[in-house]
Structure 1
Amino acid sequence: MSAEDLEDYETEMELALYREYRDVVGLFAYVVETERRFYLANSVDLQVRSAAGEVYFELSLADAWVWDVYRSARFVKSVRVVTFKDVNVEELAKADLDLPQGEAFRR
């Protein structure tokens, strides 16, 4: 496999991962970014801890999706993350409720 073939393969993997993210993002309530990973989750518990004068963050995520091109299973039931870097947690805005079209919904 040439270097160009490998680069093309990695590009395809990233594009497939982006498409999967686009398809599943609406299923989740939160976006979580750490220095190593990007997660979507429906439950987030962020605790700031300290030990020996060092501050760290402990995250517990439930019903999560992990942005990682090398993982075969990106959906996970629960994730525990410990990091010494900043953590960004954002609540996703939910789209307005779209009602189905049809006679049953007309007045």
Structure 2
Amino acid sequence: MSRDSTGAFVDYLTADVKRAGGALSFLHRDRLCWWSRLWLWLAECITVYGIGFAVHVWLQRDERFIDQKPPSETRFENGTRTNIAESSAEGVRFVDGRKIESRRSPLR
């Protein structure tokens, strides 16, 4: 129940209709559906934690995971990423799965 401009109580047929400033206001039930709530939750996760976290949590239901890259990851000037694994014993580097032989410095 609410009051109108004269102070009298107003009884609406449903709880979805309210009077605000003399005009009727309707609650749209599509804002309350499950996919809308899910989208709002994902948007909040992206805002707070980043897109990698939201995708990681979203894909857990299919038991597939996408982890965020560590902050110490190498980045090129154009922003692309690369996965570099180096074995100092063999002097071999792997860049994006390709084996690259490195020459040892004579000072080592």
- TM-score range with shorter-chain normalisation? under 0.3
TM-score of the two chains, using structure 1 as the length reference: 0.25
Larger radius of gyration: 2
TM-score of the two chains, using structure 2 as the length reference: 0.25
Larger fraction in strand: 1
> Using CA pairs below 8 Å that are at least 6 residues apart, which structure has the higher relative contact order?
1
